[in-house]
Every structure is written in C-alpha cells, then in structure tokens.
Structure 1
C-alpha cells in the first residue's frame, strides 16, 4: 500500500471549492493536505469536508512546505505558466487547470522544466479519464461506425451577467475558446488519434473577449465542425458520424453536472444502443491517475505534448479567424 500523495491547492477558486477539492479529498491514493489563500474565510467551505486541512496564507509558503508533494493550480489563465514553473522549481508535481498556457510555444518551457526536474506536470484535462471517452476512442478504432466521415460538436453556456468573471476579461486570458474550446478540439483529437491538417474559424468578440467561435478543420480522411460560446443557452454534445453508424455523447464535458453521461451508438435499421455512466467522476479519476503515475510510474494518459497539440489548434483559430 502506497502512502497517499499529499496535495496542496493554490487559491480558493469556486471550481477548486466545488469540484477539484472534493475530488482530491475523495480520490484513492490522495490526501488534500493544504490550501493557500490570503483570506481564511475562503478556506471554510474546504474545511467542512476536510477538517484537518492546513491553511497557508500565501502561495509561496505552500510551495516551500516539504510535506506537500503535488499542487493543483486553479488560478486565472494568465498565471498558469508562472506558478506551474514555480511549483516545479519547488519540487512539486503540478496539475494545472486548462488552458495551461496562452500560446502553444509556452509548453516548450514547461516540457523542458518537467524533463529537467523529473516531476509530473499535466494540464487538468479531465475528460480523457472518463470511461465514455475511452469507450468512444475504442469504438472508432475498432471500426464500429465504419469509416469516420465527419465530427460535429458544441459546448456553450451564458455568463454575460457575470461581468467580473475572469472568463469575461481579456487581461486574465478569458474567452470561450480557451475555456471550453479545449474540449471540442481535444476531444476529437483524443477519440480519433488524428491531428488536423488545416484549421479555420470565425469569432464574435465582445470587449476583446471571444464569446462565440465556430471552428472548422480537415483531418486525414474526415472533416470537423464545432462551436463554443459563452453567450448561449447551455448545451454540449459530440457526434462522430461514420459510413455505417453514429456515435453521440450527450454530456461529454460536464458529466453528472450537465446530465448523465451516455454514449449512443446509432446503427443501421434505426437501432440505438446506449451505454450509460451515471456515477463516474472524471475529476476523481484524473487525480487517481495522477497519483498512480507518481507512486507507481504508470504512464500518465494525457501528457503535456498532447495538450500542446490542442493549444496549437487554438492558436491557429485565433490567428486565422474571420470576425463575425
């Protein structure tokens, strides 16, 4: 039996409080040991489920504590690279919220630091740990829908009323493409194992923040079209359309929060086979995979090189998109 990995969190964000803090606390092989926040009141919701949590009054204090082995970083997007590098320099394994960088080239520094330190550094790209995505990847690879012809996808929510939200501020790396575009893009790359050969896009901007983005791409052998928005009614799905069948994911990105995760297999004769995943928590599964890599040396299923590829696509969309 391995000793649980001792985790610390940099910052008491809402997402850390509601999702990743509980996931670390519940994960096998992990122990939520520390939280860094300048306001002790922010620690109270964490301590309701983790009463022995040690609260640090600044980030550096947590990073210098020898008991903390791994850190989760849920800071605003523009701070991710800086604090990931600081944590690695402090000898901590790093799980950082997406997007881990603002541009793909920044991954080169992170990868070099990861390799130099021998520590695990990863983006918190949780969907690849969910069995619905692992099943989808296998079905496509096994030819369950014949030759893949086209992928469509969508991810939207509406946060226009929350004007102070970091996702609505250009200076903190806000916008829909960086926040949720990683899912429609990375999900397609993960499920197919393919990289696009050409990418185009169209963006609607508000106050220098992208609030609607349409993405089109050509992959080897199939086409792709998706959209993301922070100004539309909540919706999400991914559809993989082949010559002999269709795979549809009904809650591909926020399983259990948006609804029950289901993989629908549409076959000839209007037959629909549904595989349900009512209880799987991809945040918890992500932490457990991270801990297995640290303790057992198991290859981590979502390395920095993979998420760099998604950021490459995002960069291409930003660089070449037309304005709507």
Structure 2
C-alpha cells in the first residue's frame, strides 16, 4: 500500500469481476488492481493480460501470500464467500466480499468472528448500489421528508435463467432467487428506513427440477412502516423500487444495475407536482472500490459496517423460515 492507492487482488476470474468490477475499479482514483488468481493458471494469465493486471496466480493461496496485495475482492460462488474471506483475513488482507456474505447467518457469523480478531483489517459486503449518488440522494430525501413519512417500500427484481449448470441454479452452493437478487430487495428498505424489521412473512415457489426458489415474495414489518418485495429467476427481466409516503412517492427505475453510460433519475411526486431528479452517468463499482480504498488509506471505517451484512443475512434466514413454517417470523 502506498499513500495514493490500495493494491487489490481478485480471487477468481468470475464473470462479474472480469466484465464489471475489475474494469470499473481500474478507473478509480484510489484502487489499483495488482493481481488476479484462478485455479486454472492459463486462465489467470489470459485475464491478467487482457485487463493489464501485473500478476497472475494459479491458486488463491499464492495470491493471498503476495506482499503486493493489500486487499482482496471475493466474487467466488456463495458457498466460498466465508471460507476464502477468512483465509484472506488470516493472510493480513482487507476484504470486499460479494453479496450475500454467507449461506446463512451462522455461516456469516464465522467470518465476523474471524474479523474481530483482526481489528486493523476491514471486511465489507459488496452491495454496490448503495454507493451510487442516486441512492445516496434517495436516502437523504427520505430523511428530509420529501415524501412525508415513508409508509411502505416496494421492490421488484427478476431475470430469466433456467440453465441447470449455472451456479445460481444449484441449491447446495447458495443458489436461488432470494440469495442472488432477493438480498437486494431486503437491503433496500433496511437502508432507507435505517432500521431493522421486527417480523417477516415469506413465500417461495420452488423449481421442481432445479431445487432452487425461482420466485420469492415477502413482507417486512419495520417499526416505521412496511416493505414488500418479489424476486424471480424465471421471469422477464425487470427492476424497480417505489417509496411511498404520506405526502408523495419516489420511483427508481433500474435501481440495482444502473447504466454506466447514461444519466439516471429519481422520479419524485408530491400531489400534482412531479420532479425528475437527474444524475450524471456513474459506475457504482468504481465508487464502491474507491470508497473502500480511501477509507483504508485514511484509516477510517469502510462505508458499510460488517454488522449490516449480518443483519441482512438474518432477515434472509427469517424469510426462508417463514416459508418453511407458513407463518410470520419474529426477528430478535
């Protein structure tokens, strides 16, 4: 680590990293990608060459041992999030881990326990949407009372993927709609209400062949209001969030995968007055990487604390429990 950049290593050549996160972080002011690892050495070298990354390693262990790496980005499949993030901490590296943090709360707590042994290292769950200026402003508008008192938040996130070989469709390694995209729909109202739900109700439609939830809907009861969501992996692609209050509403189109090359908007309505709030193009992965990197360089806390990831995981578990038991589940 120098005074200007945090040096990053990437665990695996996962598609999200190669196509989205790495190129975005390379555009950042404070992030420098210095190494990438794959269990296939040739694949690591190929990606390193194509993305102009200095070091390529044929194992994750080699990357973690590198003195040229200060922090790792972990985009591995869900069931490998905790184990390799723990190994990264034990190797003295900061960790940015893809969502969801673990397979369940018990799994995620293992990482939190290890993190507590390394107070000088940071661990953050990679909910990149939270760092987009549009979402930062949306939260500010809620706090300012732009729509009055928020009463309910509605989230929807879907895509179509029934490929049995896709990792998102493998139940044993954390596949399914709730884990892959429903976690966003749970994160959003927690972010906007700035509190945790008291109880939840969830229902899941399981794919009879794949064994994963292909459509999940839920209700979250917060002290200050309610939130409803639906996520699905075998529906036409769609994303939306609506925030409804006593005096108005806000609508956010493409809330999670905001385009990087066109402006984005918040549509704010109060009575018969409608205002479109525009934001210049922004890559939320660049913002996320730079915010994390600058926090480490400055000796500050990262934007999202680890306990936020545990709370999100706790709510995900409650939705699953509710479906299994067919009733509302209280969250301690």
Shift in Å, 1:46: 4.5
Equivalent of 1:307 in 299, 309, 325: 309
Runs of 4+ in 1 over 4 A off after TM superposition: 257-260
Alignment pair present for 1:113 and 2:101: no
Following TM superposition, by how much is the alpha carbon of 1:43 offset from its aligned partner in structure 2, in angstroms? 4.2
In 2, the alpha carbon distance for the partners of 1:6 and 1:223 equals: 41
C-alpha distance in 2, partners of 1:193/1:253? 18
Cα root mean square deviation, aligned: 1.8
SS at the partner of 1:291? helix
- TM-score relative to the length of structure 2: 0.92
Cα 1:158/1:258, change in 2 over 3 Å: farther
Contact persistence 2:296–2:302 (CA under 8 A): no
2:185 counterpart of 1:196: no
Aligned residues of 1:158 and 1:234 also touching (Cα < 8 A)? yes
- Report whether the alignment pairs 1:208 with 2:207: no
- Conserved 8 A contact 2:193-2:224: no
Which residue of structure 1 lines up, in the alignment, with residue 31 of structure 2? Answer: 30
Whether the 8 Å CA contact 2:202–2:323 is kept in 1: the answer is: yes
Match 1:232 to one of 230, 235, 239: 235
Shift of 1:24: 2.1
2:130 corresponds, among 128, 131, 147, to 128
Does the C-alpha gap of structure 1 residues 45 and 89 become closer, same or farther in structure 2, counting only changes over 3 Å?
closer
Once the 2 structures are TM-superposed, how far is the Cα of residue 29 of structure 1 from its aligned partner? 1.1
Equivalent residues of 1:25, 1:31 under 8 A apart: yes
Inter-partner Cα distance in structure 1 for 2:174 and 2:154: 26
| Aligned residue number for residue 290 of structure 1 | 292
Deviations 1:170-192 (A, max 9, x none): 12210010111111110111112
User: How many pairs are equivalent?
Assistant: 321
Q: Are residues 46 and 230 of structure 1, via their aligned partners in 2, closer, same or farther at CA, if it must alter by over 3 Å?
A: farther
Q: Sort the Cα spacing of 1:282 and 1:93 in 2 relative to 1 into closer, same or farther, 3 A.
A: same
Q: Tell me, which stretches of 5 or more residues in structure 1 are unaligned?
A: none
Gaps of 5+ in 2: 327-332
Native 8 Å contact 2:160 2:233 kept in 1: yes
Partner Cα distance (1:150, 1:259) in 2: 29
**Aligned partners of 2:13 and 2:47 also within 8 Å:** no
Instruction: Specify the SS of the correspondent of 1:217.
Output: strand
**Cα distance in 2, alignment partners of residues 220 and 248 from structure 1:** 22
Superposed CA offset, 1:8-58 (max 9, x none): 1111011111011112211111111101112423543443232x4211011
Aligned partners of 1:7 and 1:69 also within 8 Å: yes
Q: 1:211 to 1:310 in 2, by over 3 A?
A: same
Which residue number in structure 1 is paired with residue 102 of structure 2? 101
CA distance in 2, matches of 1:134, 1:81: 28
Deviation readout 1:107-148 (Å, 9 max, x if unpaired): 333223223112011111111111111111111111111111
Name the residue aligned to 1:262.
Answer: 265
Q: Note the alpha carbon deviations across 1:187-241, whole angstroms, 9 max, x for none.
A: 1111120211110111011132111000112111312111000011110011110
Residues in 1 aligned to 2:5 and 2:303: alpha-carbon distance in whole angstroms = 20
Partners in 2 of 1:165 and 1:221 — Cα distance? 39
Residue pair 2:41, 2:57 contacting (<8 A) in 1 also: no
Are the equivalent residues in 1 in contact too, given 2:132–2:282 (CA < 8 A)? Answer: yes
